Amino acid sequence: MDYPVTDQPTSGFGMPKQGGNLEGLERLAQLRELTVKQRHPGCLELMECWEYQNKYDVADENGEQTFFLKEESSCLMRACCANARELEVSMQDMNGKELLRFDRPLKCMECPCSGCYPNWTQVLSVYHQGDMLGRIREVPVCCTRKHLEVWDSNEQKLYDITGPCCPIGCGTDVPFQIENAGGITVGEIKKKWRGWCAESFTDTDTFKIEFPDNIDVATKALLMGATMLVDYMYFEKKNDNNNQ
Q: Higher model confidence: residue 241 or residue 127?
A: 127
Any domain includes 5? no
pTM (2 d.p.)? 0.86
Any domain includes 18? no
Any domain includes 71? yes
Residue 190: what are its φ and ψ, rounded to 5°?
Answer: -120, 125
Domain containing residue 200: 31-234
Any domain includes 168? yes
Asked if pLDDT for residue 119 goes beyond 80, the answer is: yes
Q: How many domains does the chain divide into?
A: 1
Strands 174-179 and 185-191, bridge-based pairing: antiparallel
For residue 241, what pLDDT band results from cuts at 50, 70 and 90?
very low
CA–CA dist 21, 38 (Å, integer): 28
Any domain includes 239? no
Task: Report pLDDT for 146.
Answer: 87
Task: Report pLDDT for 89.
Answer: 98
Any domain includes 4? no
CA 64 to chain centre: 20
Task: Report pLDDT for 8.
Answer: 43
Any domain includes 224? yes
For residue 197, what pLDDT band results from cuts at 50, 70 and 90?
low
Any domain includes 60? yes
Sign of CA dihedral 31, 159, 209, 69: positive
Q: What is the CATH number of the domain that holds 163?
A: 3.20.90
Taking only the tens place, the pLDDT of each residue in 135-150 is 999 998 877 788 999 9
For residue 100, what pLDDT band results from cuts at 50, 70 and 90?
very high
Measure the N-to-C terminal CA separation of the chain; round to a whole number of Å: 30
| Cα separation values, 219 from 28, 49, 126, 200, 238, Å | 11, 38, 10, 34, 29
